[in-house]
Amino acid sequence: MNNRVAFITGASRGIGRACALALSEAGARVVLAARNREKLGEVAQEIRSAGREAFIVDIDLASHESIKAAFAKAHAEFGATEVLVNNAGVTKDGLAVRMKAEDWHCVINTNLTGAFTCTQQVLQSMMKARWGRIINISSVVGEMGNAGQANYSASKAGLIGLTKSLAQEMGGRGITVNAVAPGFVQTDMTGVLSDEMREKLLANIPLRRMGDPKDVAAAVKFLASEDAAYVTGHVLDVNGGLYM
């Protein structure tokens, strides 16, 4: 990963932050992208204090123009993106029978369309270099579904389909495209679970614990590395055995 440029969306917290730190430790120059500039600044400071390079860009995954501007700024500062981690995502949970159209579109536009638009920004340069790593952060619910999350599950399942299609399109150009499907990881998104819900959840996880963002980051670091040069179109489950 020496001096490779890695662009991570949703890098201000949780899984995105862990991925940024892991890739930086592996030698990458990281572009930290999210909406919360203050939180991004904290992550950047942590990386820079270790003597490594980080650059911050604002990004709104629901806005095509915001995405284009973010990648243009990153390119001007660090050069072409060589590793893309499509991590940013939102939830707007609710039963399908009552789900508002805007909640459906918000989640699909951010989690799926946003990831696709980000990917489009890096394909030309990766094809020219004949090297690239695209890693989409899906979810266990994109594989098994989840009541009350029709929009989120559909967006994460869509990322898996996108991953496999891109892997077929880009393989001949030396670009690998893979997905990581985390289970329930201890982040702000799962922090709202009640103790009762948490206990019920843990009972269905063979490893009997929630995941840590570092567990997911380790998988991302592997897929971004030369060790994964012959891995593409794969969905790597990091879920403690919740779904097999």
Quick one: average pLDDT of 97-118? Answer: 98
Q: Which of 147-151, 192-196, 228-232 has the lowest mean pLDDT?
A: 192-196
Give the pLDDT confidence of 205-216 residue by residue, as tens digits.
999 999 999 999
Q: Are 117 and 40 in contact (CB under 8 A)?
A: no
Q: Are 182 and 144 in contact (CB under 8 A)?
A: no
Quick one: average pLDDT of 100-114? Answer: 98
Q: Provide the 10 A C-beta neighbour count for residue 96.
A: 11
Q: Are 58 and 66 in contact (CB under 8 A)?
A: yes
Q: Are 86 and 115 in contact (CB under 8 A)?
A: yes
Q: Provide the 10 A C-beta neighbour count for residue 11.
A: 33
Helix (H) or strand (E) holding 33: strand 29-34
Q: Which residues contact 68 (CB under 8 A, 6 or more apart)?
A: 117, 121
Six-digit token string for 240: 């403690």
Give the pLDDT confidence of 69-92 residue by residue, as tens digits.
999 999 999 999 999 999 999 999
Domain layout of the chain by residue ranges: 5-182+212-235
171: confidence class by pLDDT, cuts 50, 70, 90: very high
Question: What fold does the segment set 5-182+212-235 form as a domain?
Answer: Rossmann fold (3.40.50)
Q: Are 82 and 121 in contact (CB under 8 A)?
A: no
Six-digit token string for 144: 């098994």
CA atoms within 13 A on the CB side of 64: 4
189: confidence class by pLDDT, cuts 50, 70, 90: low
Six-digit token string for 123: 């394909």
For CA atoms 157, 162, 168, 173, the dihedral sign is: negative
186: confidence class by pLDDT, cuts 50, 70, 90: confident
**Residues forming the active site:** 152
Q: What is the DSSP letter of 98?
A: G
Rounded Cα distance between 225 and 118, Å, is 20
Q: Which residues contact 141 (CB under 8 A, 6 or more apart)?
A: 149, 152, 153, 156
